[in-house]
Chains A and B, each alone.
Chain A
Amino acid sequence: MKSAAKKGVSYSKSLVTETGRYVRATAEYTGLLTASYAVRSGNLLTSAVSRLAEPIKKISLNSPLKYCRETVSLVASLTSAGVKGLGNVIPGSGVKPPVLDPERIARIEEMLMRIDRRLAEMESGGRVHRSKTVTHAVTQEKAKLGGARDMLLRQLVEANKQLKEA
């Protein structure tokens, strides 16, 4: 009787063990299947999106849209730099704002002057230009004269009248 009971217990134990194995295998399989579906769905989605996006990307690279893209990225980078710079000057952060190197500034100024001079050279040779942006004197409408300015002009006229009469 004792041995029959022992056998029954052993049978039950192996049954539980086997069931556990099946459950684990099923869970593993289900997991793998789900992961596989997830990966395949992801790939499918990526491929579909990239197929859809490719023509738009091409257009944006080879059209005026690229300037928008560049501007957006420039603004983003400047903003990020600004935010970083702001972090540098937050009181108590222990970080001092960067000190501008005067030599570097001088070099940049020189560079700008060279560019200016180059532009002046390009304008040389007695060429005539229709200027729209540069001479605000040219584009500015006759302003309403303030009292001080009117007085200056009056003085100038008087000086010129004297010159003519001399």
Chain B
Amino acid sequence: MTKPKLLNVGIDLGTSRSVIACDNGMRMFLPSYVGFPKDSVSQKMLGKKVVFGEETLRHRMSLDFFRPIEAGVLKHSDDPDKDPGGYGKTVEVARTLLAHLVEQVTAEEEGDVVLRGVIGAPALASRKNKKALLDISKGIFETVMIASEPFCVAYGLGHLSNALVIDIGAGTVDLCRMHGTVPDEADQITTFKAGDTIDQVFYELITKKYPEAGLTVNMVKRFKEENATVSDHGDAIFIELPVNGKPEMLDVTEELRGACREIVPHIVAGIKKLVATYDPEFQNELKNKVILAGGGSQIIGLAKEIEDFMHTALGSGRVTRIEEPLYAGANGALMLAKDMPDEYWYELSEA
């Protein structure tokens, strides 16, 4: 009998996107949406019992639509006893999503596989939030570990000391300073003014400027993902929206810039706090190693905007946007899983 193949997996379950990287070389990301057909007719039409990612948005009229992650954590996981039914459903949906992700990256494997995984959680996720992640991974992984998302990013990049990682997601912005140990609460700040806030503000600003335009938050979200900027350079930005049923090109340059700038003051306040409370001897080093990660770091001009603020408020600062911000968390989690000695995994499985 052949021994099952051991695979390590790194996972970043995000409010907007879930990302997975496996040490067999496969990786993927998927919008964190899950849909179940409303009835037998829609099931017949879709030809499947469950739909994931973008496809859920295309067929959302015929689906029970779920976004199991909210503000970076599993919905209802702050207090599962408050709404046990809601929590149970969320766990089921999130597990389905996780199983789908794992299935996608292990589909080409022949024979049995044993999976070990590291799942990223927001910097200040509570114990209950983390327990919920363990709940959804039961039956999927042989052993699983939870690690702070910005810590995973820093680990993946090898910036384990005197570095400040800012992970800009849809639900949260996590700031985490690294000083050679696993960061504790004092080293991390989570703000909830993140990608979803930008979508909401952008939606409101467009509706205010063009009250007759027909749009949804999902429409502006997609548009934002392709055009987000805080830079004053560049061309005017136009969005095509139906106005009284007729598609029209509407100038939304200022609205998009304004919405994207909405998150900046919260990020810079976090940076200021983490720098000011750091060992003065290493503050300069910390200021010069600020790393932007996550989908939100793709906002054009954001690194420079933060840098400008740091020069004004803190005297100096250097902000670097990492390559592949989308995969940074999952890659770091995978590296953790791979670097973890077998005896540590064994200890954890026996605990």
A137 to chain B, nearest CB (A): 4
Segment touching B, from A39-47, A70-78, A144-152:
A144-152
- A138–B21 touching, CB < 8 Å: yes
Which of A126, A129, A142 is the one whose CB lies under 8 Å from B26?
Answer: A129
Q: A107-B233, A137-B10, A148-B160 are in contact. Are A126 and B344 (CB under 8 A)?
A: no
CB of B243 within 8 Å of the partner chain: no
**Contact partners of B348 in chain A: CB under 8 A:** 157, 160-161, 164
Evaluate contact between B334 and A135: CB separation under 8 angstroms: yes
Binds B, one of A3-11, A30-38, A50-58, A112-120: A112-120
Dominant SS among interface residues on chain B? mixed
Number of interface residues of B (CB under 8 A): 57
**Complex contacts, B127 vs chain A, CB 8 Å:** 163, 166
Which B residues lie within 8 Å of A151 (CB)? 181
Q: Which residues of B contact A139 (CB under 8 A)?
A: 25
Would you give the 0/1 interface string for A126-145, flagging 1 where the beta carbon is closer than 8 Å to chain B? 11111110111111101101
Contact of B25 among A116, A131, A148, A157 (CB under 8 A): A131
B104:A128 contact, CB within 8 angstroms: yes
Does the CB pair A126–B29 fall under 8 Å? Answer: yes
Bound complex: CA of A155 vs CA of B107, how far in Å? 33
Q: Which residues of A sit under 8 angstroms from B327, Cβ to Cβ?
A: 134-135
Q: How many A residues touch the partner, as a band?
A: 35 or more
Asked whether any CB of chain B lies closer than 8 Å to the CB of A153, the reply is: yes
Is B181 touching A137 in the complex (CB atoms < 8 A)? no
B139: interface (CB < 8 Å): no
Query: Known contacts being A126-B52, A130-B25, A135-B21, is A160 close to B300, with CB within 8 Å?
Result: no
How many Å lie between the Cα of A105 and that of B291 in the bound state?
19
A165 contact set on B, CB distance < 8 A: 351
Contact of A153 among B10, B26, B53, B336 (CB under 8 A): B336
Q: Does A64 lie at the interface of the complex (its beta carbon under 8 Å from any beta carbon of B)?
A: no
Known: A120-B326, A152-B182. 13 other contacts (CB 8 A): A106-B301, A116-B298, A120-B298, A126-B53, A131-B26, A137-B21, A137-B338, A138-B331, A140-B338, A153-B344, A155-B181, A157-B344, A164-B134
Q: Can you identify 5 A-B contacts, CB atoms within 8 angstroms?
A: A126-B31, A131-B25, A142-B339, A151-B181, A153-B336
Nearest 7 A/B pairs, CB to CB: A137-B331, A155-B182, A161-B351, A137-B335, A126-B30, A128-B28, A126-B53
